[in-house]
Amino acid sequence: MSKKRQQQTTGIPKGAVLAKRSQQVPNNSYDPAPTYYIDKPFVCIDCGQQEVWTALQQKWYYEVAKGSLYATAIRCRSCRKNRSDPNYVKSSPVVIRNGNSLIKHVHSEINSAIEIAGFKFQGKSRLPARDSFSLDYSRVDLTLTCWFDSPNSALIAESIDPSANCIQIARVLINSPVSGVKLLDRISVFTGAVVQYLESLAPA
């Protein structure tokens, strides 16, 4: 190996791909341009799928396609392909940032069934555990509570009658993944179980 080549590869992680800086788009930043590329894991912002932007893909993007050095991969190949389809219709994403936005989404999904079943929304409460919230509903003969148990990463729904008999309607773990379409699917499983329970109730 030549002395110059040896200097270039010193300190480069195993599996990295050397960058050819003369082929990169000029970088108007105080941050130096990369001298090598390494595989970068990321989560697709559309579907929530775990993906890897490989070092070779980065080399092609930055040096052949002349992509900006500030850019990085945010969508998986399948979602990029979907977006290039002329028939693709962009939907408004549901953003779940924390327990508060999660429980608000639950409320919006079950509210119609809640009203049909004769319940009234009593309010949303912050629970002692960090980022945990509950939704409380009631009618003459029942109290219904849905809450996000943040420490255990679970959505739980229970009903209680005047005799203090408690029934667990649903419990869905959502600890992984925490974002994207798969998270919404798990929330839908939870809200679907709650709606099914509400529809099974006799009128108050």
pLDDT at 6 > cutoff 60:
no
Burial class (CB within 10 angstroms; exposed 0-12, middle 13-18, buried 19+) of 42: middle
Q: How far apart are CA 20 and CA 60, in angstroms?
A: 11
> What is the mean predicted confidence (pLDDT) over 44-67?
86
Per-residue pLDDT at 7:
44
Q: What is the pLDDT of residues 119-149, one digit of tens each?
A: 999 999 998 888 899 999 999 999 999 999 9
Q: Where are the domains of the chain?
A: 3-84, 99-200
The percentage of residues in the chain with a pLDDT greater than 90, rounded to a whole number, is 46
The helix (run of H) or strand (run of E) holding residue 37 is strand 36-37
Q: Which of 81, 36, 77 is nearest to 59 (CA)?
A: 36
> What is the mean predicted confidence (pLDDT) over 183-189?
85
pTM of whole model > 0.75? no
Distances (CA, A) of 77 to 44, 66, 185: 9, 19, 21
Task: Please state, as a whole number, how many other Cβ atoms lie within 10 Å of the Cβ of residue 142.
Answer: 19
Q: What is the pLDDT of residues 77-122, one digit of tens each?
A: 888 877 776 665 555 455 566 888 889 989 999 999 999 999 999 9
- Which residue type sits at 81? K
